[in-house]
Chain A
Amino acid sequence: MRSRSAAALTAAAVFAASAACGAQSGANDGDTVKVGAILSLSGIYSTLGPAQKNALTMGVEALNKTGFTVGGRKRTLEISYADDRSDAATTGVTALREMVQAQKIPVIAYGLGSDTYVPQLKRQPIPMVNILDSSYPGILDLSQNLFLTRGASPTYVPGCLHYAKRNLGTKSISVITAKGEPYAEGLTQLVAKSAQTEGVAIAATAEFPLSSTDYSNAIGAALAAKPDAVYLSSVTAVILPVLKQLRQSGYTGPVIHSSGVNPDQAEAILGAQFDSIMKDNYDCAGTLPTTSANPAAKSFAEAYQARFNEYPQDLTMWAHDFPFIVAAAMTKADSVTDPEKIQKALSEITVPEGTVSGWLPGDGGLLFTGRNARTASEVTAWCAGKRTLRSAMVFDTRDGAVVDPVFPEDTCA
């Protein structure tokens, strides 16, 4: 019997020890204001997180040069980062609880997993600003605490179809999509809808399981319908292996997607042959900083490229602007700790100074209309042999149709 009680005591000691160090610092009213950022720094979405972190760092440094005043005192911003390991439901939720309960953080930027955070937000509501997720149907109706600082996928997918029909003469298109991946499922529905409005036929829609490594069945089904073009529906890390096997299977026609692949990722994932695999490849998403007409975006792009030696994706602009948006909201709310006041202020601020994304102001110059801040969208094409992208079409959309498209001249020819 002695051993059993001995073991119970050891278990008790360990529990008690971890309970003792439960107390956490959290007060936020010093001059440095702490906010949170939960990003996918590893896992299948790891092509997105690191770039966001780089941009957030640049944004915070730019903001802290002048600082911002709240309650009569000049404040600077500090971001506490957490990696959700592309699995919001496990590591993301834990990080959210750590920030809200232990670190008492009032506002958080995040990338994916909106629906998994909703239950926790019901228990302890705080404003969460999404700087990435444009999956369809939108995340905003999941909870009043969620804000989105980018155009949702309905604002750019129509551009793919419009450009394909007008410039590539596409009459039928096959879609290869990742089953169960939220972004992919939204895109697939939108492509079908936009194809209908543009008069392009959907030749075939083929699925592959997210965990699979051999896509020959999906590729076979998609190509059997003899399409003029193929649309790959999901995020970069998922579609590039499919693109490689698609080219290996002998398909040479145009490939369209909305994953925001940059040249560095293409080379890392596709290997030495990346240039030939990426030939005849078109991406429709938010405007890219490098090809944007907005001067602030262009100078940010050059600074980012110089500092991180990496091609800036569209999400870098929105991540860069997050600190400015938070600072503006805190100043309006005149509080750095009260989540409710900050959330209310977010809906009342205009487009803040120092932002680079070229936000399209709503009526009354407000940044957020219906908790959504929008930018223009763009179709970009791969420059063969130049390891870069060129702008093929800049456009905006109104209820699902492309409006005032602009076709810049071909910079990589």
Chain B
Amino acid sequence: MSALLTVDRVVKRFGGVAAVDGVSFTLDAGSVLGLIGPNGSGKTTLLGVLAGTHEPTSGTVTLDGKVASGKGAHRAVHAGIARTFQTTRLFGSWTLREGLRLAHGERRGRQAWSDDRLADLLGLDGLLDQPCASLTSAAQRLAMIALALATGPRVLLLDEPAVGMDTAEAAALADAVRRAADELDVAVVVVDHNMQFLMPLADTVLVMAAGAVLAEGTPEQIRADEAVIASYLGEA
């Protein structure tokens, strides 16, 4: 079947600087793509272009054959691409259930996963009716993912989801992301620095440096690739 998401030569310039300089890749439903690279390599900007936060200077992002980039974040969501943020952003005074209700409203008729199913998937059961501000920081990061999933996306973009989590919480998160990909048939792109969390989770890995794709392949291939080691990983 043709790829779910096609990213074709996307460029994003801020003033003179090309934060993303001609990136192309494809993504199939249900697969998890790890996006790694040193700070300033353009990972977050690329994620922003995919999610519609930024308008690409050139190049396109198409989902199911329809162009989804450059029309603003809310149209990306309606097209089926949802994201979370590096810094936790939630509707503090709302309960998670109220946030989910809003997100459900924006599904544009796509498949709906019930609050309980999402809570079970992300290990948030019993926390649905508390104000989000009173959740633990790890739970808040999971709540952000729940909100994104509630919009019934085909593609889920996670921006450093495991930051600030201990190994147990990161493992639980990896398990939840894998279940989301498998059970909900969602394609996931994960940007993170936590290799113990990312490598076992990702089906394929894309390494970026200075705005361009340095290497792409399975986690094992990436680990062996000298160029990647030289620019980024140091010794394996």
Chains A and B in contact, CB within 8 Å: no
Residues of A at the B interface (CB closer than 8 Å) are none
